[in-house]
Chains A and B, each alone.
Chain A
Amino acid sequence: MGERPTLDVSFGDIHTQNVQQLRKLNEHTFPVKYLDKFYQEIPTLSKDFTQFAYYGGFVVGAICGRLEPMPDSTTKKRLYIMTIGVLVAYRECGIGRKLLEYLLENASKHPEVALVYLHVQTNNETALHFYAKAGFEKVGKIEGYYKRIDPPDCFVLCKPIHLDTTDPARITAALGLPTDTTATTAAAAAD
């Protein structure tokens, strides 16, 4: 893209009044189409982990994370990033990083959040770079995760927050990896 300016963004909540802007954003950002159910759920989630980024008065990016129970814990939670996306024209201006920072900062204020994790299509170099830069690590790969896009495989990336272990086995277990590869397809991605 050549030289890019740095943009000062502001943040705003996603609610039922403006959630259709998220739909527009996603339609222009992701290869998969999210179902209505997804857009009904987003406004109900904690604003700490779902947020719009605004520039010049318009939504130019969004992050949607949701808290999930940890399979092996009653007190701890894991934070799943369902989507993070920035409009093509506004990429590489620091907006994605700021959205992710927003989520990570809030996560660190929640002691019950053990870790943040997400799925990335294996060929999405940009996103892999992006997350690597933010300190995420590959903890696994799920084959055939996506049904309609190619390649259908994804990596699972993870970043610890309030994790009381450094044992990779416990982490993969917490994420249901690698033994059960279908359990984590909770994301509405499909279709």
Chain B
Amino acid sequence: MVQADGAGRSLPRKENDLFKSIVKFYETKQYKKGLKAADAVLRKFPNHGETLAMRGLVLNCLERKAEAYDHVKRGLKADMRSHVCWHVYGLLHRSDRRYTDAIKSYKQALRIDGENIQILRDLSLLQVQMRDRHGFLETRKELLRLKPNNKMHWIAYALANHLCDAKETAIQVIDAYSNSQEERSATYEDSELALYRNTILEEMGRYDEALAHLEATKPLIVDVRSWRERRAEMLLYTRRQRRRRSEEEDDDDESSTTSEEAARSAWIELLSSTEASGDNYFYHRGLQLAVLPEVSAARCREIMRTQRACELPTDAIELSFEQVERLDETYASLATRFPRGEAFLWIPLTYAPRGPAFERMLDSTIRRLTKRGAPALGSSLERLWEPKAGEVVSGRSRGREACELTLRLADAHVASLREKGRYGGDPNGGGTVLEPPTSLLWVSYLRAHCLEWLGDLEAALETIDECIRHTPSAVDLYEKRARLLKRSGDAAEAAEAMDSARTLDLADRYINNKATKYLLRAGRVADARRTAALFTRPEGGDSEMHLREMQATWYELEIGRALAARGDVGPALKKFVAVHKHFADFVDDQFDFHTYCVRKMTLRAYVSVLRFEDRIRGHAAFRRSALAAARVYLGLYDAKVSETRADAERVEPEAEITENDAAAAKARAKRNKQRQRKARAREARAAREGDNLDAPSADASKPKQQHQEDDDPEGLKLLAESRPPLVEASDLATQLAEFAPSRPETHALAFDVAERTGKILLAVRALSRLDQRCVAAKYDKLDGFYAPEAALVDRLSRFVVVFGRAALADGVVARVARTQIARLCGGGGDEEDLGKLVVAKIRAFAADSPVLPSRVAAATALARLEPAATDATAWVLDAALEEHPSRKPLGVKHFENALRALKLDIRADPETVDAFRATAARRFPRAPAFFLPDDDNNNNNKTPPH
């Protein structure tokens, strides 16, 4: 890795050879020998900079960090003009993931030796890793200039252009390279390069050219499937593009019908190519668009590029009668040709317009799938009951209506199967085939699913109990029962139920994980740990460590939440930080791809990995861990504030913070000192151990691969080493703003941080982002009020409380803040009376938004500004009785939150609280949260579990 040329830097022959051997030993991981060689040089030339630096590099590989940095720095001091020293410094930074510092060091090295290929290459890797796209382009250009004979340099340069959006140049570079090749054949590399070039053409919207290029390169292609997929896709776009042009030029294009035909048969061919491809929804998307030539090329491409999983163009496109017929015909003929292809039968149900035909289709779907034993049928149908934002609903049977229809059909079948052993409800006099007993089981199970979705949890439980009596050995049924208990608000019973379901199949990791999760939801952390440990390697030592190594983020998030809920701050933070680290690891894992993919020419995959990594921190697990950790930090801060407040008189927010930070800084300094002492002791120990390692093989293996024991299970060290809570929280908020900018919780958090740091402009910015950037998150998946507007009114009221006075001050900052807040409140009104504006906004929101979580947010906000206002509690009570006509009813969590808010934030009078409690208890009779205080006996009288 490190080049030794010119490194002798006035060393005599013998020492120069020794120096070269250090480099060799380093590269072959014989660190012990490397150290010896370095020592031999240093005995004679104790100030030889490059030797010092190399010794540091070797020490770094032996995990002797402090010594390593010390050596490299001494080396640099002794020889500032050595590119070797700078390069080594860069490598050291890199190994500690300080990429920006590493880049700086490499650049220093290049200032001295600008044409050093090795350093240029190392630099380019870091640049692409850090997405310094233009720097990367420059470096690759330089490398190509220096070594144009290396084919990798051409490819990497093309890629760099592509990443910089210089697609035209990228194509030219690829062509220049290809033309310089003697002969092209169907090798994997040429094939990949051709397909890569083709994706760039597509990204540029040059579909005709892409299609022609595909035809021309056909003989080169090894990955035939990809080629066919690309061709089918280009056929979708090109004819439309052509048609639009010809429409504009007002002449008709005769080739269009034939190319429509070509597109359709290309997709049908793909769908029928293997047994499994009939279920490939990417192909179904292509087919639907081929059958719908009315859709523009741009829309087609957007759909093909953005839809995921089982999403379909027909979800997003309103269809005419004629289009429905066309699609139906296509699917009907495919269904006859491929009787085993379930998707051909299922998909028409998803776009069918409301009406008898839809009902017949739904009914035959229920028969077909319950007969086959599909426990997931209800979940699949939920896409009709609960359409996603942006899906077409008009003219289609959706929401409660669809769920109730399913329930009616299921009811009829249950009755008929019980009585006659055959499906019923058919206008032609019922099914003729005698059904196996499982048909009744699965129809009943579907029935339970409908009842659950409709919010009738007691009826769902009864139904599932019938199922259990029917087939008491089926784990799925007990799992469902546990979930129903959870949805009923009884986390403890739910955990019991899931745990006993677990005992039915001890070899089933899925149910084991479910039981773990449910135990955690019930706060039974120790039991959950024991349960999770059942599926870890016993020889892996500590099971928590094993789960961390396996990057079991779901577990870390759940246990972190459970720990945080009971105030175990340190251990909780440890879990959230672990998830955070997994993401850093995912990002780091790219390093292997930068060299490998270019060498192996897997360019399409490489570019998609880079794009995937760009977005990876938008993943739910990252979001949740960041959010949860930030909440813990804010909690720590608040606890400290109330401590201080207990001592001192009330202080202004600004002053409070500085004081706190000063106290924290002092504590930190003390802890730092302790930490350094400990670190020194640790390193001394490591050094001693290192010296005992003699065999080169031991040296060569990765030093201290995995620590089997967690040396900080309580997270005390973590807490001690972290920066002040507000700094940590604000850091997390910044990351969320970058990676999850459209989530309401991101900006809500940003506000919560700004509120505490007293930064008025940051608070205003968070509020306007909450207003403008967010998409509504689904209510029932979240545990706070995260609907953007609900979060907004809540934070607006807090703005008035915290910054109200500051916003009235003179000066630009205050004026900007005033104007912005007034704008957020709907404009107009008196900017000098923000309180009034916000109250008006709150009232308007409450009037518009009758759902419980919104009303709770509004009531909380109002109570904060006008404690005497009486309408706040009425909003909540009304909302508790309100039932949305078509949506899924709200979950128990929302009622629990509302009750808590009524008591603590809104401070409603006892009668109101009790009235709400009673309403909630009627809906969730099993939820302990809504029992009367002396209701403990009731608790025991519940229907006994199985």
Contact = CB atoms under 8 A, between A and B. Distances in A.
A57 B503 CA distance: 17
A39 to B, nearest CB: 11
Contacts of A55: 436-438
Nearest to A26: B472
Interface stretch (A12-20, A135-143, A180-188): A12-20
A25 B373 CA distance: 20
A25 B472 contact: yes
Interface string A131-168: 00000000000000000000000000000000000000
B506 A28 contact: no
Given A21-B473, A24-B472, A87-B471, A5 B373 contact: no
Interface centre among A20, A28, A59 (most CB of B within 10 A): A20
A57 B505 CA distance: 13
Interface string B566-607: 000000000000000000000000000000000000000000
Contacts of A59: 473
Nearest to B373: A56
B132 interface: no
Contacts of B436: 5, 7, 55-56, 93
Interface in B417-442: 420-421, 434-438, 440-441
Interface in B439-495: 440-441, 469-474
B298 interface: no
Contact of A89 (B373, B470, B503): B470
B472 A28 contact: yes
A18 B438 contact: no
Contacts of B470: 87, 89
Nearest to B440: A89
B472 A3 contact: no
A25 B474 CA distance: 10
B511 to A, nearest CB: 12
A24 B503 CA distance: 11
Contact of B505 (A2, A17, A28, A93): A17
Interface string B507-531: 1000000000000000000000000
A56 B421 contact: no
B373 A27 contact: no
B435 A25 contact: no
A84 interface: no
Interface centre among B421, B441, B472, B474 (most CB of A within 10 A): B472
B507 A25 contact: no
A3 B421 CA distance: 8
A90 interface: yes
Contacts of B504: 18, 20-21, 24
Contacts of B440: 89
A57 B373 contact: yes
A82 B399 CA distance: 52
Contacts of B472: 24-25, 27-28, 87
Contact of B471 (A2, A4, A60): A60
Interface in A81-113: 87, 89-90, 93
Given A3-B421, A56-B436, A17 B471 contact: no
Interface residues of B, number: 21
B437 A89 contact: yes
Contacts of A25: 472-473
A30 interface: no
A58 interface: yes
Nearest to B470: A89
Interface centre among A25, A56, A60, A87 (most CB of B within 10 A): A56
Contacts of A21: 473, 504-505
B499 to A, nearest CB: 12
A8 B472 CA distance: 19
B841 to A, nearest CB: 55
A79 to B, nearest CB: 25
Interface in A42-63: 55-60
B438 A56 contact: yes
Given A25-B472, A58-B471, A89-B440, A18 B434 contact: no
Contacts of A4: 421, 434
A104 to B, nearest CB: 24
A65 B473 CA distance: 20
Contacts of B473: 21, 24-25, 58-60, 87
Contacts of A27: 472
A28 B477 CA distance: 15
A185 B506 CA distance: 32
A17 B507 contact: yes
Interface string B842-876: 00000000000000000000000000000000000
A185 B441 CA distance: 37
B420 to A, nearest CB: 8
Contacts of B421: 2-5
A18 B506 contact: yes
B134 to A, nearest CB: 57
Contact of A20 (B373, B434, B474, B503): B503
A4 B433 CA distance: 11
A179 B42 CA distance: 100
Contacts of A58: 438, 471, 473-474
A59 B438 CA distance: 12
Contact of B434 (A5, A17, A28): A5
Interface centre among A21, A24, A60 (most CB of B within 10 A): A24
B426 to A, nearest CB: 18
Interface centre among B434, B435, B437, B504 (most CB of A within 10 A): B437
Contact of A18 (B435, B441, B505): B505
Contacts of A87: 470-473
A3 B422 CA distance: 10
B646 to A, nearest CB: 54
Contacts of B469: 28
A41 B441 CA distance: 31
B480 to A, nearest CB: 14
Contacts of A28: 469, 472
A16 B471 contact: no
A56 B373 CA distance: 7
B418 to A, nearest CB: 10
Contacts of B437: 7, 55, 60, 89-90, 93
Contacts of B441: 56, 89
A3 B434 contact: yes
A18 B373 contact: no
A3 B373 CA distance: 21
A21 B504 CA distance: 5
Contacts of A90: 437
A100 to B, nearest CB: 19
Nearest to B438: A56
A5 B507 contact: no
Interface string A57-78: 1111000000000000000000
Nearest to A7: B436
A89 to B, nearest CB: 4
A60 to B, nearest CB: 7
Contacts of A89: 437, 440-441, 470-471
Contacts of B435: 5
Interface in B766-825: none
A18 B507 contact: yes
A87 B436 CA distance: 13
Contact of B506 (A7, A17, A93): A17
Contacts of A20: 503-504
Given A18-B504, A87-B471, A89-B441, 20 more contacts: A2-B420, A2-B421, A3-B421, A7-B437, A16-B506, A17-B505, A18-B507, A24-B473, A28-B472, A56-B373, A56-B438, A58-B474, A59-B473, A60-B471, A87-B470, A87-B473, A89-B437, A89-B440, A89-B471, A93-B436
5 contacts: A18-B505, A24-B504, A58-B473, A60-B471, A89-B471
Those 9 A-B pairs whose CB atoms lie nearest each other, nearest first: A59-B473, A56-B438, A17-B506, A89-B437, A24-B472, A17-B507, A5-B434, A21-B473, A28-B472
Interface of B: 373, 420-421, 434-438, 440-441, 469-474, 503-507
